[in-house]
Structure 1
Amino acid sequence: MRKSYHKIIGYLLMGVALLIPIYCFGQMVYQSLSKESHYQAYQASLPKKISLARDKKIASYNHKLNQEQNIVDPFLGEAYHVQYGILDNPDAIYGYLAIPSLNLLEPVYLGADDRHMILGLAHVDGTALPSYAKTQRTVIAGHRGYPIKVFFRYINRLRQGDMLYFNDGKETFSYQMIQSEIIFPSEWEKLTPQKGQNLLTLITCDPIPTYNKRLLVHFKQVKKSQNQKFSEKTKEEARDKDPILRALRTTKSKVSARFWFFVTIVVISAIGFVLVLYRLVRYCLA
C-alpha cells in the first residue's frame, strides 16, 4: 500500500498542535504544584543568620530614596539594569511574594528588567524595599501572564481585605489590600509614599490585550509577622508555622477552578496526542 506523505504530514502537524497546550498548560500546572517546594528550597538555602551588613544596605537604600521618585516603567521594553549593591549576585532571589487568595507564590528579584520579569516578579527601583518604616511605598512589578506562566494574570480579582505576604529571607511582612486603580503609564505620582502609611503596590499592564494602561493594586502593612526559623523541627512543623505556607493552605483560592481547567486541557490534549500518534504508527505500518 502506497503511503500518502500528505496524510503523514497531517498527522505530524496535529501532533505538534497538541504538544503546544500540553507544554504551556503543563508548565502552569507544574509551577502551581511545585511553588511551595521551591519556596522551601529558597528558605533552606539561606544562611542561618542574614548578615547585619545586608540589613544596613537595605536601610541605606531606603534612606537615600529621593522624595521625587525616578521610576522607570518596567513594561516599556527599555533595556536597563540597576545595581542595588545588596546581594552578592544581582540575579539572585531577594525574597518571595505570596497572595493566598490567588494561590500565588512567586520569587522577587531586585530590578524590574526583562530577564528578572521573565523569571518572576521584580522590585521597581526608586521605591522602598519592605521594612517596618512608618512612611514608605514598595512597588512590585509583574507581567499579566506569559504563555507558560501566570504571574499577575488574576490580580484584578483581588478585593479589599485580601492578604499579601512578602518574605525577604529574614522576616515576613504582612499587608492587606485597600484599593485598586487603573492609571496611564505617565501617572507616576500615584506611586509616591503617603505620610504615615507603609504601603506595597503591585503594578501590571491593563487591559488585556492592549496593555496600554497600568493596573495598580495597593496594600497597607498590618501587624508585624516575624519569619520563623525551624532548622531543628520537622518539615511539617515548619509548614504549619511559616505564615506564608499556612496562609496558602488555609485561604480559599479564587482561581482554583482555573487550575483544574488547565489540568483538564493537559489531559485532553495528551489523550489526543496519544491517539494521533497511534493512528500515525498504524498508518505507517499498514
Structure 2
Amino acid sequence: MIVFGLLLLLYPSTASWFSQLNQSKLIRELNTDHHASSTHRAVADAREYNRLLVGGVIVEADQHKATGTVQSEGPYDYYSLLNATDTGIMGRLRIKSIGVDLPIYHGTSDSTLAKGVGHLRGTALPVGGTSLRPVLTAHRGLPEATLFNDLDRIAVHDTFVVEVFGEVSTYKVIETRVIEPDDTQAISVEQGKDLLSLITCTPLGINTHRILVTGERIVPTPISDAKAAGAAPEIPGFPWWAVIGGSVVLVVISYVVYAGYSQGRRRQKKTSPAPETESNS
C-alpha cells in the first residue's frame, strides 16, 4: 500500500513531464513543415474563412469545456484549414509569464484538450484581423498535463504570442475576469478591435465558472517576438527530484520494515522457552 501511494504521488510530475516532452516534439515538427507558397495560401484561406464565418459559442455550467456553434463556414472544411501536418495542429501558443508553450489544435474534443490547446470552432481562426475574437481553450487540473493550470496568474499588460503558419501575433492582456458559464456576451466580437480570448474552467474540479483572459493585438508585432518565431521550444528537464525523493522514501521504508523485522526476531528468541534436557535416572 505504501509503494502504491508513493507511485500515486510521483505520477502527476512524471506524466506532466512526458506530456510536455511530446508537446515540444510536435511543435518542432510543425515549425519544419512550412513552405512559403503553401503558407501564404493557407493564411489567405483562413482569413477568407473568417470573413464568411457565421458562428457563436456556448459555455455551459458543470462542463469541462466550451462548445462552438456554426451556422455557416462558406465553402471551407474547417479541419482542412491551417492543417500542415495532418495532426490537427494549427499553431502554437506561448505565454511567457506562466511558462506556457503549447500546440493549438482544431476543435475542443476531449482527446484534443487532453494534449493541448483547442481552438473553439465557431470563432475566428487565430490569424489576426479587426472585428474578430478567436477563442482558445484548455483544461486545468489534469494530473497528466499542466496546460492552463496557471491561467489565473496572468495579469493585465502581460503578453502572449500566437504563431500560425509563420504568422506571429502578439496580444497584450487588457482584461482578466471570471464569468458565469452562460455569459456568451463576454466573448463576443467587438467592432474595430483585434482580440483573442483564452478560456478555462474554474474552480478546479468544480467547473461552475470560467476564467476569461482577453488580449488585444499589438501592431506591429514586437521585433523580439517576430525573431523568436519558429524557435524550438524548451525541452523540460526530467523531474529527478521526484525520483530522488521517491528513492529516499523507499530506502526509509525498507529500513523501517527491516528494523522492525529484526527487532521482532530478537524479541521472539528472548521469549522462546529453553529446550528441555533429559535427566538420567
TM over 0.5, shorter chain: yes
The equivalent of 1:54 in structure 2 is 42
Partner of 2:136: 140
* Amino acid in structure 2 at the alignment position of 1:58: A
Given that 1:21 and 1:266 are in contact with CA atoms closer than 8 Å, whether structure 2 keeps it comes out as no
Distance 1:46 1:52, change over 3 A: closer
In structure 2, relative to structure 1, the CA distance for the partners of 1:35 and 1:267 (3 Å cut) is: farther
Between 131-140 and 49-58, the greater mean CA deviation after superposition? 49-58
1:186 corresponds to which residue?
Answer: 182
Identity of aligned residues (%): 22
1:177 aligns to 2:173 (yes or no): yes
The one of 134, 158, 165 aligned to 2:161: 165
Q: Which moved more, 1:38-47 or 1:148-157?
A: 38-47
Is 2:63 aligned against 1:76? Answer: yes
Shift of 1:30: 4.8
Query: CA–CA distance in 2 between the matches of 1:240 and 1:140?
Result: 21
Equivalents in 2 of 1:176, 1:244: separation in Å?
A: 20
188 and 113 in structure 1: CA distance in 2 versus 1, 3 angstrom threshold:
same
Give the 3 Å change call, closer, same or farther, for CA 182–49 of structure 1 in structure 2. same
Q: Which residue of 2 aligns with 1:269?
A: 246
SS in structure 1 at match of 2:38:
coil
Alignment of 1:219-258 (within 5 A): 219-225=215-221, 241-243=227-229, 245=231
User: How far 1:32 sits from its partner (Å)?
Assistant: 5.2
Higher Cα Rg, which structure: 2
Deviations 1:54-97 (A, max 9, x none): 2233123201222xx42243873699899513137764211110
| Offset of residue 41 of structure 1 | 3.3
TM-score between the two structures when normalised by the length of structure 1:
0.72
For residues 123 and 240 of structure 1, the distance between their equivalents in structure 2, rounded to whole angstroms, comes to 22
Find the aligned partners of 2:85 and 2:176 in 1 and give their Cα distance. 34
Q: Partner of 1:136: helix, strand, or coil? A: coil
Distance 1:80 1:100, change over 3 A: closer
**Larger relative contact order, structure 1 or 2 (CA cutoff 8 Å, min sep 6):** 1
CA gap of 1:113–1:151, structure 2 versus 1, over 3 A, is same
TM-superposed CA distance for 1:201, in Å, is 0.5
Q: Which residue of 1 aligns with 2:211?
A: 215
Q: Which runs of 5+ in 1 are unaligned?
A: 1-12, 229-238, 250-258
Task: Show the counterpart of 2:11.
Answer: 23
User: Residue 89 of structure 2: SS of its match in structure 1?
Assistant: coil
Distance 2:21 2:107 in 1: 27
Task: Name the CA shift for 1:176/1:77 in 2 (closer, same or farther; >3 Å).
Answer: closer
Q: Relative to structure 1, is the Cα distance of residues 224 and 273 closer, same or farther in structure 2, using a 3 angstrom cutoff?
A: farther
SS at match of 2:160: strand
Q: Which residue is equivalent to 1:40?
A: 28
Measured at CA, do residues 245 and 131 of structure 1 come closer, stay the same or move farther in structure 2, by a change above 3 Å?
same
Q: Relative to structure 2, which stretch is displaced further, 95-104 or 75-84? A: 75-84
After TM superposition, give the deviation of residue 138 of structure 1 in Å: 1.0
CA distance in 2, matches of 1:136, 1:26: 39
Letter in 1 for 2:114: I
* DSSP 3-state at the match of 2:198: strand
Contact 2:59 2:67 (C-alpha < 8 Å) held by counterparts: no
Cα gap change, 1:16/1:129 in structure 2, threshold over 3 Å: closer, same or farther?
same
Q: 1:273 to 1:115 in 2, by over 3 A?
A: same
